[in-house]
Structure 1
Amino acid sequence: MSTTLTPILTKFWDDPQSWTLETYEKNEGYQALKKALAMAPADLVQMTKDSGLRGRGGAGFPTGMKWGFLPPPDGGPRYLVVNADESEPGTCKDIPLMMAAPQFLIEGVAITSFAIGCNHAFIYLRGEVVHVYRRLLRAVEEAYAAGHLGKNIHGSGFDLDVTVHAGAGAYICGEETALLDSLEGRRGQPRLKPPFPAVAGLYARPTVVNNVESIASVPPILLHGSEWFGDMGTEKSQGFGIFSLSGHVKNPGQYEAPLGITLRELLDMAGGMRDPDKALKFWTPGGSSTPLFTAEHLDTPLDFESVAAAGSMLGTRALQIFDETTCVVRAVDRWTDFYKHESCGKCTPCREGTWWLKQILGRLEHGQGSEEDLDKLLDICDNILGRSFCALGDGATSPITSSIQYFRDEYRAHLTEGRCPFDSRESTLFHKDRVTA
């Protein structure tokens, strides 16, 4: 595996007009769509399976396999829905991609729709990012004007309409069935499965729901071949991905690299820690909903299997880096506040459990409570994990259980000193709104 960067989706982000159709077409734009329209849809599905492309939204489910779950055509409509509701703390790859090069997504939508027999696709975007919403609308408008969308695309007889929908801003709508309910005009809450979206999704019709980066990766794969894609990454985690580095790193940003690269290599590319005199303390491999890693995991390959074997999840490849000035209890407390707030309230374990997690963590962070509260936290997490309606509850427990595993002494220090021991240090992150006991 090559450990150098592989600029593919990010290749021309530095172009002064990177988001325009003109720039995209100068960089092989829409050549893949023309190639796809000359192929059989079943061959496109098989090509995606052969490439080894796995969902880039966090779960890592094989993309081509998901397309293949659709039942045989019955004469009714079927839909493609792009999940662009990126909103987990630390996750920042889909929004920059849509902002810098939205035509990757539009072309991917057209190819995927042709492959699955969809004539109306939807892009569900987080409503707060109005600037991205406007850019996507303009990108779709340009694609229509150029004949890449609409009726009889490039004389193929294939019709496709694309609707960009702005949600009202709810983290729960990143869960695919809650997203579908929201898109239908209802309150965004997870549905009971089965039936799965492939059988009864949007408007109770067969539906494919894919992440932005997953769909945007389809045109390069079609243009350059499954073997080209498979040569990057690892044997089971093939291809490239956008890694988002944030926090105490000198040059935060998006780094597109093969799966299997390590944080040590990415940190070298990013110029190292922001303060070279401050050591790495902990980090997230896939966003705030994944178990924490420490400096001992610097050389863990960032692919689905290796990260799972080390006790976490690759997730969205949102690498939040924290140095020794950061209080891990405070960081986890702030994340838990987010999950409590974003719980949709549909199921008891998540609705009640996240509230109690926040109460206990808040006490501990301020030096109150007792060590028994640590066991109570773990007990509540155990009653949420695997028992909530969707993955939000599971994600809320991950930073808590992993932080107690690696930093139990730091929790104890809060109790011993009767306050956060980092209040007297140079804490540069999670500093706002502190309350000391």
Structure 2
Amino acid sequence: MTYSSDFHSEFLRRLDTRGFIHQVTDPAALDEAAAKGVVTAYVGFDCTAPSLHIGNLVSIMMLRHLQQSGHRPIVVMGGGTTKIGDPSGKDEARQLLGDDQIRANMASIRRIFERFLTFGDGPTDAVMVNNDDWLSGLQYIPFLRDVGRHFSINRMLSFDSVRTRLEREQPLSFLEFNYMIFQAYDYLELNRRFGCTLQMGGSDQWGNIVNGTDLIRRIDARDAYGLTTPLITRADGAKMGKTAQGAVWLHEDQLSTFDYWQFWRNTHDADVGKFLRLYTDLPLGEIARLEALPGAEINTAKEVLATEATAMCRGRDAAEAAAATARTTFADGGAGEDLPQFATPTPVSIIDALIGLGFAASKNEARKLVAQGGARIDGEAAGSDAALVAPGQKVSAGKKRHGLVVAG
């Protein structure tokens, strides 16, 4: 969906020309508000793990562009809604977490946003809040009477997040069914507390966002808007951020900086321009030049993408170190010190080394990799399950995953 010829505000022009916009509830009114003054907008993030992943990065980048164009972002940590679980885009209910785990996850996730946003007390400084501050104190009967009466079951059943689960005859608990009501209430609270007039999120959040704008209009008779991003997919059709090895985590605690850099470096040729627009701050003119590089020169653009995206998430020094490690590993045949490491005091089997480095999830998977010739020690095929790896040697799984066995 393209709106760029109609937008006057820097914020919406920026989002549109970089490929962020899928749906907007009232494009003209939102554009006018963003052109006239400061818009306060939020995105919510539930605390289901110690780190967010690349699937969350588009929403984080939208908040970054919002702030860079002179508006105020709110990061809503779902300390309350994580206790329920969002059914959107899910085939089954999430595992419910205890309060201690939710608090620990929230504290860990907070660090990510400090790399993308500027927090403070100024008119466009970012704010971080926890929706448990208002959700856990709600009284059930008054909440049903004052808020629940504005929701139609017929309409809620029509939303994709609910309809898909029912069509597949997969259970949808009453707890999850309430999620969209609580998310709408979040928007109402943020509108009242901070003057927030825009909620943003992925395309699977459209129904939840519209519920919020409707609730604000019905209860407080105020205008509020919603904006969603398209589903980001790779050229091979896979959902962005999903790999055979699992989620691509934003925290270095969950994924090494080298592996994060390497994920971006492995981008398909056809995705380079799109990902440069979405996941870096590079000017559009420079992106156009990079994505037009012919033949093998497109690899230069991939390295720029990897370094810029990693610098934003992990810091410039870490990104440059990962790039240097890649050059040492692939171009010079060496073993860079930033590669994933597995510490052992004595030589271990190639099977244990593959598992220890995270290249295989089980012994069966590791044996299969060896049998197919995909496991190598210092560049040579492992040959058999009995092959030993000593501290100081490099282990490779396929052409793109490399790690070091170190003394320890």
> Could you say whether these structures have the same fold, taking a TM-score greater than 0.5 normalized by the shorter chain as the test?
no
Query: Which protein, 1 or 2, shows the higher relative CO under an 8 Å CA cutoff with sep ≥ 6?
Result: 1
TM-score of the aligned structures, taking structure 1 as reference length: 0.30
Larger radius of gyration: 2
